[in-house]
Amino acid sequence: MDHIALMFEQEGCNKDDWTFISDRMKGVDLAMRDTFPRATRRVCCQHLYMNCKNNGFSGSAFFKLFWIAANAHNEYVYGKALEKITAHDPNAAAYLDTCQEQWSRDMPVFSLLEAIRKWCMERVGARFDMAIDMEDACGGGEFEVRDAHVNFPIRLSTRSCGCGKWQISGIPCKHALRVIYDQRLNPIDFVSPFFKSAAYKLTYADHIHPMSDPTQWPNFSLPTIQPPVIKRQAGRPAKKRKRGPNEPRKGKRNNNVKCGKCREFGHNSRTCKNGGPSTGPSTSAAAGASTSQGGPRGRKRANTAT
């Protein structure tokens, strides 16, 4: 990490507005604290939950409470979720208290784009929530929105809502949209400028600088980074790739199971509830056995009568 810090100092990027997101690995955490002490450190919620699961804190109840706390946009909802986690498992709450970094809800690129697409479709399909009541509190661009049994103050001038989602995401929440549409305003004017095309064009406005051949690059007195030593693990090597927590599980190759009794697909003869006639090899064998036994006895009686 020393040569990385030297590179940042040479480029003039040693600032206190950097943010690093990790999965709370001890080596990375210690290196970041020593190299970038002023930088903001965040921990990925998905990795944090996997760390909790590896420490024995799992189950459907803990899963729901954890993601309620992770998706909280204000301290009240976050505090209530931690209280329920403490009542459910005090050890899990004590482990979460050791996480001093800010929680970050990161997703893989494909899952993130799919979630954004679904969110946009739901927003376009239901822009108004009829369960929300809106009333002007005191004028001056301040409103009060009642959602179920909770009141949320809305301030259009400061782009803020009592739920906290507008301030964090930069996109108006459903409470703010209720006020914006009621006031006949354009919701695009209340979206953060970081999401608009002007910021996108400004990001890629500069051209790509030419680069010289690697043989002409300057030499620095930096240590050569060697690849890690690969040590063969005990046991048989795995043939299948370990899937991520957000990846779907691989199903069976052939799901068309055919029943041996009723000849229908979707179940087998053991779980058959149709009660169809059995046409298995055991029935045919039994029929053949009875025919072979009856033949010799009939010929024997005919010979006796003669």
**Alpha-carbon 26 to chain mean position:** 23
Nearest C-alpha neighbor of 22 from the set 8, 3, 6, 1: 1
Residue 2's pLDDT band (cuts 50, 70, 90): very low
Q: Where are the domains of the chain?
A: 2-110, 129-192
Mean pLDDT of the chain: 75
β-pair partners for 85: none
**Residue 35 near residue 2, CB atoms below 8 Å:** yes
- Structure confidence at residue 166 as a pLDDT band (50, 70, 90): very high
Higher-confidence residue of 28 and 159: namely: 159
The band of 192, judged by pLDDT with boundaries at 50, 70 and 90, is very high
Of the candidate ranges 9-18, 112-121, 125-134, 233-242, the one whose mean pLDDT is the lowest: 125-134
The CA distance from 223 to 3, in Å, is: 8
**pLDDT at residue 172 in the model:** 92
- Which pLDDT does position 120 carry in this prediction? 65
Q: Is the pLDDT of residue 134 over 80?
A: no
How far apart are the C-alpha atoms of 22 and 28, rounded to whole Å? 8
The whole-angstrom separation of Cα 215 and Cα 99 is 46
Residue 56's pLDDT band (boundaries 50, 70, 90)? confident
Residues forming beta bridges with residue 104, ordered by sequence position: 44
Residue 161 pLDDT greater than 80, yes or no: yes
Enumerate residues 6+ apart whose C-beta is below 8 A from 32.
1, 20, 22, 39, 41
Rounded-to-integer distance, Cα 157 and Cα 121, Å? 28
Highest mean pLDDT among 12-21, 32-41, 118-127, 285-294: 32-41
Compute the average pLDDT of residues 235-261: 76
Q: Please provide the DSSP assignment of 159-170 as one string.
A: TEETTSHHHHHS
Other Cβ atoms less than 10 A from the Cβ of 172: the count is 24
**Residue 99: which of 45, 56, 164, 35 has the closest Cα?**
45
